């Protein structure tokens, strides 16, 4: 075990988290502890399948627990923690409008719990999974970290802004280095079933109508999960300054209509569209300025949208 870097990944059985754990275990220099609650937002068996191979690795351990329960987690967490990657969160813009208090409890109070663990354990490096949702309806495209004009339009987005400020506070008080990563519409194998690409693909395959909100011109900066993981690992190694907020996107927005057309082409099936008005909490466009990520993390997204969709479909049909 000597020489291993001890990493705690919260939400490590989820979509992004399980891909990160894949990469860390494959690297061989890390000992990984995963915390996940396996909540019922979607079928918990999906997460269990995500980590089935991890459980066979002696450098991996799993703690099934709620991140809000600091005392319980401290009883289960043995030894030092060199790096924390905090990906656990209650996700979903629309769901947050329906359940704002729950989102506050998990995304803010839950983060507070993990920050306390970092303080108590003497952790020196903390990577926080934030979101492009914090920019909200900011019209200044592409969105830059230097722009303070954050205009969130959902409780989920507000909870992520609060998280960034909590991290900044702990950096000031306790000398922990933080990198907050604003993820832009991550997609790829293991994507949550409620997210658009997976949801749409499933309905195209089964011949069911897709709920198609708006006129099809909304834009999303879709970012392939392997590129996101490369950015997270770079953030784990970052050591120049004590607090940074960094966009992780692809800088190539894709329209809703183009997304559906790409799925149709790769699946070789036509979609049935149920056209509906825009939903509350949706933003018209997202686009990441990734200049900073390139400069301080050496981040270079390598997967085009079409290539990513082909990989996603291969997983979906596999």
Cα 85–Cα 86–Cα 89 angle in degrees, nearest 5: 155
CATH topology of domain 5-190+224-249+288-302: Rossmann fold (3.40.50)
Does residue 134 sit in helix, strand or coil? helix
Residue 2 has a pLDDT of 54
Angle between helices 225-237 and 15-27 (to 10 degrees): 60
Task: Please tell me what DSSP assigns to residue 279.
Answer: P
d(CA 210, CA 227): 28
The pLDDT tens digits of the residues spanning 166-188 come to 999 999 999 999 999 999 999 99
Q: Give CA–CA dist 141/59, Å, rounded.
A: 43
Helix, strand or coil, per DSSP, at residue 120: helix
* Residues 172, 149: Cα–Cα separation, whole Å: 23
- Dihedral sign, CA of 279, 280, 286, 292? negative
**Which parts of the chain register pLDDT below 50?**
1
Cβ within 8 Å of residue 230, ≥6 positions away: 299
Residue 278: what pLDDT? 87
How does pLDDT run across 264-318, given as a tens digit for each residue? 999 999 999 999 998 877 788 999 999 999 999 999 999 999 999 999 999 999 9
The residues assigned a catalytic role are: 156
What CA–CA distance (Å, rounded) separates 88 from 84?
11
Instruction: Name which of 12, 21, 30 is nearest 237 in CA terms.
Output: 30
CA–CA distance, 124 with 175 (Å, rounded to integer):
8
């Amino acid at each position: 075990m000597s020489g291993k870097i001890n990493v705690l990944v919260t939400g490590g059985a989820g979509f992004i988290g399980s891909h990160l754990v894949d990469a860390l275990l494959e690297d061989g220099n890390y000992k990984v502890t995963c915390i996940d609650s396996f909540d019922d937002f979607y079928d918990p068996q999906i997460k269990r399948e995500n980590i089935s191979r991890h459980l066979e690795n002696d450098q991996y351990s799993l703690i099934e627990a709620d991140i809000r329960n600091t005392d319980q987690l401290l009883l289960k967490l043995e030894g030092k923690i060199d790096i924390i990657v905090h990906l656990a969160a209650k996700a979903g813009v629309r769901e947050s409008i329906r359940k704002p208090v729950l989102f506050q409890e998990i995304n803010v109070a839950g983060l507070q719990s993990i920050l306390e663990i970092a303080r108590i354990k003497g952790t020196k490096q903390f990577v926080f999974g934030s979101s492009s949702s914090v920019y909200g309806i900011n019209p200044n495209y592409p969105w830059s970290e230097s722009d303070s004009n954050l205009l969130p339009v959902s409780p989920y987005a507000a909870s992520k802004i609060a998280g960034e400020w909590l991290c900044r506070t702990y950096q000031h008080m306790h000398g922990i280095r933080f990198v907050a990563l604003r993820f832009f519409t991550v997609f790829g194998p293991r994507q949550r079933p409620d997210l658009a690409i997976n949801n749409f693909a499933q309905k195209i395959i089964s011949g069911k109508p897709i709920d198609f909100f708006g006129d099809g011109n909304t834009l999303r900066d879709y970012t392939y999960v392997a590129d996101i993981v490369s950015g997270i690992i770079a953030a784990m190694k970052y050591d120049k300054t004590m607090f940074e907020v960094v966009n992780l996107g692809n800088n190539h927005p894709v329209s809703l209509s183009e997304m559906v057309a790409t799925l149709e082409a790769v699946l070789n099936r036509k979609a049935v569209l149920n056209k509906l008005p825009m939903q509350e909490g949706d933003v018209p466009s997202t686009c990441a300025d990734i200049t900073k990520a390139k400069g301080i993390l050496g981040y270079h997204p390598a997967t085009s949208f079409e290539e990513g969709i082909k990989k996603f479909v291969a997983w979906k049909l596999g």
